[in-house]
A = this chain, B = another copy of it.
Amino acid sequence: MEQSAPPRRITIVDVAEHANVSTTTVSKVLRNAYGVSPAMQAKVRKSMSDLGYRPHAAARGLRGRTYTIGLMLPDIRNPFFPEIIDGANEVLDATDYQILLGPARNVREIEHRVTEAMIDRSMDGLILIVPAATPTELEQTARAVPVVVVARHLRSTLLDTVVTDDVAGAALVVDHLADLGHRRIAHIAHAESQRHLVTTMPNTIRAEGYRQAMRARGLGDEIDVVATTYSKEGGYLGARQLLARSRRPTAIFAGADIAAMGALEAIADAGLSVPGDISVVGYDNTDFAALGGIGLTSVEQGGRQMGSDAARLLLERIDDRAKPSRLISLSPTLVVRRSSAPPPR
């Protein structure tokens, strides 16, 4: 029952006393700063481990860094994002930085609140995954803290960007399906509510890439886009609409695997088979696509690569905020599996 008083935290002062040096020196050791002899280093480090000292990140933040990186993601249900996060962690695990996640639940206001919260907590840098904010807002954020934007097609002197070529990705899908003999290739898109984001969001660019590719293959008249959302429900509803068409499409290109998942269920519900009656292709190549049974043809974006690139860019920008900004654009590839085949008859 003895509530054993919350043991006072070991601070830099305790370490300094224990090692018989000044707090300044301890601080220098902590940061690997210049001006400490190896002997000093060793002595102080010993004291730190003897006492079980852990730096108080919040206090550090008041003057220097917090060694914290904030990662904003639109939602935690999309299986593509974990890939990016894994990639970022791959890089960050070897450093003193710690990632903390802030999910925005697909709401602009929440995204804003989360981003501000990260800044207010003195995070050293932010990775924003498909943010819904305007370019201006993003630059505003980038003025306050180093920012890397992932999956938005924008270029700015104030922030770094990692994207994949969504136009090329969409073309891979259309070409693949057209090569198989499909003509009625429909697309399930993620509706963009913000008009001014149309040119920078991956979903709209994927849809536009689809249209371009269709026209390039002489299938301009067959263009058919239903705009729902990149989610299981969105895919399900989108596919339902498409299946109800008088001239039902023979292939569906879902803008995200998670939507493809919903589409597959809608197709099964309708008593149709994949790929016998209808082909389905996704985007993101999540592990769900790879696994047995389903075997979804999908576009590999290199999520891990995006994540690790983003982390690297961010670390470099934290080290030098004046550095010229960079944009890394990755090329997608198509992974063909069992869900796509020639059209019936």
Contacts from A to B (Cβ < 8 Å)? 1, 3-4, 6-7, 54-59, 61-62, 66, 68, 70, 75-77, 79, 81-82, 85-86, 89, 98-103, 105, 113-114, 116-117, 120-122, 143-144, 157-158, 232-233, 236, 262, 264-266, 268-269, 287-288, 291-294, 322
Question: 8 A-B residue contacts at CB 8 Å?
Answer: A54-B116, A58-B61, A58-B66, A68-B117, A77-B82, A121-B121, A236-B291, A265-B292
Whether A57 contacts B120 in the complex (CB less than 8 A), given A7-B143, A77-B82, A291-B265, comes out as yes
A100 touches B101 (CB 8 A): yes
B102 touches A100 (CB 8 A): yes
Q: A7-B143, A76-B76, A121-B121 are in contact. List 16 more A-B contacts (CB 8 A).
A: A1-B157, A4-B143, A6-B143, A56-B120, A57-B117, A57-B122, A58-B122, A62-B62, A76-B82, A76-B101, A89-B105, A98-B102, A100-B117, A101-B101, A232-B288, A264-B293
Question: In the bound complex, what is the Cα–Cα distance between A68 and B122 (angstroms)?
Answer: 12
Instruction: Identify which of A121, A143, A265 gathers the most chain B CB atoms within 10 Å of its CB.
Output: A121
> Smallest Cβ distance from A156 to chain B, in angstroms?
12
B56 touches A122 (CB 8 A): yes
What residues on B are CB-neighbors of A1 within 8 Å? 157
Contact of A6 among B57, B70, B144, B264 (CB under 8 A): B144
Give the nearest-CB partner of A68 in chain B: B121
Instruction: Identify which of A75, A81, A120, A288 gathers the most chain B CB atoms within 10 Å of its CB.
Output: A120
Question: In the bound complex, what is the Cα–Cα distance between A266 and B99 (angstroms)?
Answer: 35
B236 touches A265 (CB 8 A): no
> Smallest Cβ distance from A113 to chain B, in angstroms?
7
B287 touches A265 (CB 8 A): no
What residues on B are CB-neighbors of A144 within 8 Å? 6-7
Instruction: Identify which of A77, A101, A144, A292 gathers the most chain B CB atoms within 10 Å of its CB.
Output: A292
What residues on B are CB-neighbors of A6 within 8 Å? 143-144
Give the nearest-CB partner of A97 in chain B: B117
Question: In the bound complex, what is the Cα–Cα distance between A323 and B266 (angstroms)?
Answer: 51
Whether A57 contacts B269 in the complex (CB less than 8 A), given A100-B102, A101-B101, A143-B4, comes out as no
What residues on B are CB-neighbors of A120 within 8 Å? 54-58
Question: In the bound complex, what is the Cα–Cα distance between A7 and B141 (angstroms)?
Answer: 11
Question: In the bound complex, what is the Cα–Cα distance between A264 and B264 (angstroms)?
Answer: 15
Contact of A62 among B59, B114, B121 (CB under 8 A): B59
> Smallest Cβ distance from A122 to chain B, in angstroms?
4
Give the nearest-CB partner of A143 in chain B: B6
Question: In the bound complex, what is the Cα–Cα distance between A98 and B123 (angstroms)?
Answer: 14
Question: In the bound complex, what is the Cα–Cα distance between A144 and B57 (angstroms)?
Answer: 15
> Smallest Cβ distance from A103 to chain B, in angstroms?
7
What residues on B are CB-neighbors of A68 within 8 Å? 117, 121
